[in-house]
Structure 1
Amino acid sequence: MKKTKFYIKIRPTISFILIALISSVIVVTLSLNYYFSKELAFSATKEKFDQISQKVEQKVKETDKRNNDIISIFELYKASEETALKNKRHPLLPLLTTTLNNNPYIYALYVGNKNGNFYEVINLEISKKLEEKYKKQKDERWLIIKIYEEEGKRVQYEEFLNKNLEQVRSIKKEAIYNPSLRPWFLEALKNNDIIKTKPYMYINLEAKGITYAKAIKNSNSVFGIDISLESINNFLSNQVDSKSQLFLFKNTQELIASINYSFKKNENPNLFPYKEILKVLNKQKVLKENIIKIDNIEYFLYFSKIDSKYSEKEDLVILTPIENIMYSFTKKIYYSFFITIVILTFTIPLIWYSTKILVNPIHKLAKENEKIINRNFEKVENINTNIKELHELSNSLVNMSNSLKEYENKQKELMDSFIKLLANAIDAKSKYTGGHCERVPILTMLLAKKASECKEGIFKEFELKNEEEKRELSVAAWLHDCGKITTPEYVVDKATKLETIYNRIHEIRTRFEVIHRDITIKMYENILNGANETKEKQKAKLEQEELIKEFEAIAKANIGSEFMTDEDIEKIKEISKRTWIRNFDNTIGLSNEEKQRLVSIQTPKIENLLSDKLEHLIKRDPSQIKEYDKYNFKIEVPEYLYNLGEIYNLTIKKGTLNTEERFKINEHMAMTIIMLEQLPFPEGLKKVPEYAGAHHETLIGTGYPRKLTKEQMSIPARIMAVADIFEALTASDRPYKDAKTLSESIKILNFMAKDKHIDEDIFKLFLTSGAYKEYALKYLKKEQIDEVDISKYI
């Protein structure tokens, strides 16, 4: 009999396999999830407690340092060792009360003497119990305690002062307290350094505290500070949750502070409560996973030694229930398990149905193709399919995506190279620009990063969301001065008033030489004609000396280093009236452009020593003004392109640039906008002209070239304005000026922020984020970096 062959169906088989696999994955995943969650929870807890330990250590160190500093400061005052008697005011009382006022955790400052005299200033507002004990009245702020001997008896005199240090009331009684017998006094006398006592109970406060004290050099007095441990308790209570217990103690035994632990009846609060923990810590026993069992509850134990300058170190112990650590993770696992079961219940029919669907991989391929269309090449990936043809098509899509991505990156690299090449060419064009175009992008991107990280004020909604937006701003920063390529070097580098391509002072000096020689010739002619030789020589000498002085005046004015007064200008105009005789034709050897400007005059010709001639005026192309209107530039355009007039230039009141030349330099902003707005930037770089073209605008419409206001300028544009100015102020590679220090530059930026020339919010972010310091440490010279107190500006 033929054996019947057993067949299986694909859909039930695949469904069964899938369900079995899914169930196995769920079990394994949940198990691993629990295991790794436990490891993660313990690791996170330890890391959290490490941070708490660091905070506690920092708090202890800060407290030690501050109290040490206070004692060291008072030790400098000779008056610190004084113990003022009745009706006498301690010379340092204002300083003592100010110190207490600025350090609210300090209970009292005092000085004691070997003879038993004592002077103490107490902060009455440090504790309600203290106010109740002394029945503090409304106006009373400070309590002064004086102990001294009076008529053979030791008395304690208590003075209650108001906030103006005026006495409100006083109490006199027999003194019981003797500072010279106190442990802090005796211990301080034995040491040269500041001592820190163990915690002890303050009777007045009914709370524990610590004393810092030091014997005052060359005296029998000890200066001390009492601090309440309540401030440390308040600090520690903010470090752990309500289910965790925290202990800070000395030498594993002496408790300083505890959080979330209730002492049992008759339990000594000065002893650390858990014997099991003491046993572990004293014997340095290693616990498995830092777990310890106390009262049938498993705890995670954390122990840390707190570093301190004092020989007796503090120890920190934190206990938190394991259940507390794992609660959120266990809850999530149970929740995940429940959700998984629900999903699995609904998944079974879906699995059954999905076996007959083959179109799903095709849909996935369509999505991958959509990523390529949107140029999200890095997100394109192979789809998971066992259909060979679809798998090959998926590989083809990935390969095509990688090829397009590589091509696009090369295009970006080429474009970026051209941009940087242009920027470097602008920097190299003049010795006065240095590496400006290279450093402004660095500072701009640094400030933009800080602005993105800040989620307050005007930066709340600001963020450079992706690399494309960052590149857009970077490109704008690299191109922010591209218009300078149209600015002639002889204008940018103009060092003297008469300089064009060359310094025309030499031309004028030659005229002086001619006049000087003419005076000499005239002198000899007069002598030959019978004039008195001595008088003629004396006359010539005086004229030539005056001539030399006049040239020196012109040469000095040419430098432009000093502000010219109206008297200086009149003197130049007076000198210009001197005449000389030109004999040579000035119309030959000229370019066509020069010939068009020149007015021909026959020689010989008597001319003024200095003059403003028609040929000195270089006309402007009228179409340029129309071009400016086209781009909505709001700038006053000078009538002439250049004015080379000698008197005109020599009488520039300040600096070396005349109106036309200053406009030409400022014109680089207009040219930057014209150049950039003509470029067909892709979508991701559309804002480059806006960002690059506004860094010389102000917030109040007084900038150029469009006189924009704050509302018309984006945050990146305003950021670039700050970066541009700060780089220019601190640049150390410009031969025409000394680099300003960090503090000088910040001060100038502050003035500009107040005048609304730069954005005050960005200026403050520049300071508070530390961006100014980050940039300075990398790009400023060491001698430029000085201390900046940013609190004066924020």
Structure 2
Amino acid sequence: MSAERDLDLLLPLILFEATKVVEADRCSLFILDRERNELWSKVAQGSKSEIRLPVGSGIAGQVAHTGAIINIPDAYADTRFNRSFDVSSGYQTKTILCVPMRDANGEVTGVIQALNRLDGQGFNSEDEELLLALGAQAAGAIENALLHEEINRLFEGFVSASVVAIEARDPTTAGHSGRVADLTVTLAQALEHLSTGTYARTHFSSTEIQEIRYASLLHDFGKVGVRENVLVKAEKLYPHELEGLRARFQLARKDLQLQSYRRRFEAVKHRGDKHLAEIEAEETERLGTELKHLHEVFDFVLTCNRPTVLAQGGFERLNELGHLQFEDADGKTQPLLLPREIQSLSITRGTLSSEERREIESHVEHTYRFLTQIPWTRALRRVPEIAYAHHEKLDGTGYPRAIPERTIPVQSRMMSISDIYDALTASDRPYKKAVPHTLALDILKREADNGQLDKELFHIFVDAEIPRRALPNAPK
């Protein structure tokens, strides 16, 4: 009894032992809620609903209030007995023994109440001693179970707050951690139904499922250590860089117009007023051509700035555009595109430079360092290790450690599949469109066939329809 930590399992066990030890027909157990000054019971033999009553009310309430034993040989002859339960249930209470449960400090923590001794006689002093002794043991066990529940609630609250912090840091991925946790847990539970293959009869206990869930919820917590502008970078140029480039193009436009007016002035000076209309037409056409070219260049730059793959020759053209210049307000020649802008616009995949990608990837190291600082219980001690390996690949090409297949936990392998699937199908990423469900599975299959993801786990992910079962709004 003292080893049981689940209150829902412990309380019926206590009642079973109490009923047996005093040879009663049935028993009830009430726990003292000091904050509300009430007794409450999740389990009372013969009752299906939770019972709450004020301390001092009824027989159990009086025992909790005074700490004294109440032993009633004839319930209906005692004015303290409330017959309403018998009336509503059809049960007939004859004898009652109600004793306090006391903790190691002697404080009343609850009440055990036994009804109707099986031999038809009243409860005796020996029954009182036995039930008191059981009550003392039960009080300690219940206190441990309640403490265990409090620790669980503490961890739940901490994990929930951490997820809020992650999503506040990167609102574009809101909901990702929760979805990855749901997918991974559902996949883990699906393994229990396998009868063949590597993972046949694999079973995760409720505590191990909780460990997987926590690791999944916290797998991206290290993003709090990544610069926010890198974390939410939607295009190859940062917004302030794009604004600077836009302002430069506006200045270049003004410069073209100014150069045109200067040429008109010089042309009139050399060719005379009688050619004014001709000069005006020539310059209007030339300026129009130059402005159109400038506009096309800017449109090309905007295209390059998006997280798409450039068409053939795009990188070469970017380098050529690096030679374009204009005169600023001080008459100094300035480049239209800066070297660092050309470098950023030349990113071949996504929006991140190699340096920025390394910074993003560093979130795994940050996550591990953060999680190892938490005093996890023995049952949850592998949370940091599971989260640490969620970006590793079976062929050794993952990050941050590029560890071999045999050292990657199965929990991390499941999380990798779930993480990639949600990242592909999520519709809340500003830098990419959501990928349809079938295409996401094709991409995962390609990685599994290439030896990067666990092939068997991937097939279970597909065959067991994990996304449909785990996510209420799963993509089609």
Same fold by TM-score greater than 0.5: yes
Matches within 5 A, 1:118-137: none
| 1:780 equivalent in alignment to 2:439 | no
Alpha-carbon contact 1:443-1:775 (below 8 Å) kept: yes
Residue among 140, 151, 154 paired with 1:400: 140
| 1:438 equivalent in alignment to 2:178 | yes
> Deviation of residue 760 (structure 1)?
1.0
5+ residue gaps, structure 2: 1-102, 105-113, 115-124
Partner of 2:461: 766
More helix by share: 2
Residue among 464, 470, 478 paired with 2:209: 470
Cα gap change, 1:418/1:698 in structure 2, threshold over 3 Å: closer, same or farther? same
SS of match in other structure, 2:270 = coil
> Deviation of residue 420 (structure 1)?
1.8
Q: Which amino acid in structure 1 is aligned with residue 318 of structure 2? A: I
Partner of 2:337: 610
Partner of 1:503: 242
SS of match in other structure, 2:396 = coil
> Deviation of residue 441 (structure 1)?
0.9
Alignment partners' CA distance in 2, 1:733 and 1:464: 32
Alpha-carbon contact 1:445-1:473 (below 8 Å) kept: yes
> Deviation of residue 427 (structure 1)?
3.4
| 1:483 equivalent in alignment to 2:222 | yes
Partner of 1:544: 291
Cα gap change, 1:760/1:562 in structure 2, threshold over 3 Å: closer, same or farther? closer
SS of match in other structure, 2:452 = coil
Partner of 1:577: 323
> Deviation of residue 729 (structure 1)?
3.1
Alpha-carbon contact 1:427-1:435 (below 8 Å) kept: yes
> Deviation of residue 737 (structure 1)?
4.5
Alpha-carbon contact 1:558-1:650 (below 8 Å) kept: yes
Q: Which structure has the greater CA radius of gyration?
A: 1
CA displacement 1:682-715 (0-9 Å, x = unmatched): 2221100111121211111001111122201111
SS of match in other structure, 2:394 = coil
Alignment partners' CA distance in 2, 1:523 and 1:554: 29
Alignment partners' CA distance in 2, 1:435 and 1:738: 17
CA displacement 1:38-93 (0-9 Å, x = unmatched): xxxxxxxxxxxxxxxxxxxxxxxxxxxxxxxxxxxxxxxxxxxxxxxxxxxxxxxx
SS of match in other structure, 2:389 = coil
- Larger RCO: 1 or 2 (CA < 8 Å, sep 6+): 2
Structure 1 vs Structure 2: percent identity of aligned residues? 27
Alignment partners' CA distance in 1, 2:207 and 2:222: 24
CA displacement 1:482-536 (0-9 Å, x = unmatched): 1222334433433332224563342333332343333234324424643565155
SS of match in other structure, 2:148 = helix
SS of match in other structure, 1:468 = helix
Give the structure-1-normalised TM-score. Answer: 0.40
Q: Which amino acid in structure 1 is aligned with residue 226 of structure 2? A: T
Cα gap change, 1:486/1:522 in structure 2, threshold over 3 Å: closer, same or farther? farther
Alpha-carbon contact 1:676-1:688 (below 8 Å) kept: yes
Q: Which amino acid in structure 1 is aligned with residue 214 of structure 2? A: V
More strand by share: 1
| 1:718 equivalent in alignment to 2:381 | no
Matches within 5 A, 1:23-42: none
> Deviation of residue 428 (structure 1)?
4.7
| 1:653 equivalent in alignment to 2:380 | no
CA displacement 1:186-205 (0-9 Å, x = unmatched): xxxxxxxxxxxxxxxxxxxx
Q: Which amino acid in structure 2 is aligned with residue 392 of structure 1? A: L
Q: Which amino acid in structure 1 is aligned with residue 294 of structure 2? A: L
Partner of 2:398: 703
Cα gap change, 1:460/1:424 in structure 2, threshold over 3 Å: closer, same or farther? same
Cα gap change, 1:503/1:540 in structure 2, threshold over 3 Å: closer, same or farther? closer
Residue among 160, 168, 178 paired with 1:420: 160
> How many residues were matched structurally?
348
Cα gap change, 1:675/1:510 in structure 2, threshold over 3 Å: closer, same or farther? farther
Cα gap change, 1:447/1:540 in structure 2, threshold over 3 Å: closer, same or farther? closer
SS of match in other structure, 2:173 = coil
Cα gap change, 1:414/1:541 in structure 2, threshold over 3 Å: closer, same or farther? same
Q: Which amino acid in structure 1 is aligned with residue 350 of structure 2? A: G
5+ residue gaps, structure 1: 1-367, 370-381, 584-602, 613-644, 785-794
- Quote the RMSD (CA, aligned, Å): 3.2
Alignment partners' CA distance in 2, 1:537 and 1:779: 57
Alignment partners' CA distance in 2, 1:711 and 1:474: 22
Q: Which amino acid in structure 2 is aligned with residue 779 of structure 1? A: N
> Deviation of residue 744 (structure 1)?
2.8
> Deviation of residue 672 (structure 1)?
1.6
> Deviation of residue 538 (structure 1)?
4.7
CA displacement 1:255-292 (0-9 Å, x = unmatched): xxxxxxxxxxxxxxxxxxxxxxxxxxxxxxxxxxxxxx
Cα gap change, 1:604/1:509 in structure 2, threshold over 3 Å: closer, same or farther? closer
CA displacement 1:90-123 (0-9 Å, x = unmatched): xxxxxxxxxxxxxxxxxxxxxxxxxxxxxxxxxx
Matches within 5 A, 1:194-209: none
Alignment partners' CA distance in 2, 1:501 and 1:737: 21
> Deviation of residue 604 (structure 1)?
6.7
> Deviation of residue 764 (structure 1)?
2.2
| 1:450 equivalent in alignment to 2:210 | no
Q: Which amino acid in structure 1 is aligned with residue 473 of structure 2? A: Y
Matches within 5 A, 1:103-502: 386=126, 391-460=131-200, 462-465=202-205, 467-500=206-239
Alpha-carbon contact 1:580-1:607 (below 8 Å) kept: yes
SS of match in other structure, 1:607 = strand
CA displacement 1:364-412 (0-9 Å, x = unmatched): xxxx99xxxxxxxxxxxx9xx9486675344223223323322331232
Q: Which amino acid in structure 2 is aligned with residue 401 of structure 1? A: A
| 1:682 equivalent in alignment to 2:409 | no
Alpha-carbon contact 1:576-1:609 (below 8 Å) kept: yes
Give the structure-2-normalised TM-score. Answer: 0.64
> Deviation of residue 556 (structure 1)?
2.7
Partner of 2:90: none
Partner of 1:668: 363
Q: Which amino acid in structure 2 is aligned with residue 728 of structure 1? A: A
Cα gap change, 1:409/1:574 in structure 2, threshold over 3 Å: closer, same or farther? same
Alignment partners' CA distance in 2, 1:494 and 1:456: 45
CA displacement 1:636-669 (0-9 Å, x = unmatched): xxxxxxxxx1121122234332222222222222
Alignment partners' CA distance in 1, 2:213 and 2:188: 10
Alpha-carbon contact 1:698-1:758 (below 8 Å) kept: yes
Cα gap change, 1:388/1:560 in structure 2, threshold over 3 Å: closer, same or farther? closer
Alignment partners' CA distance in 2, 1:541 and 1:433: 45
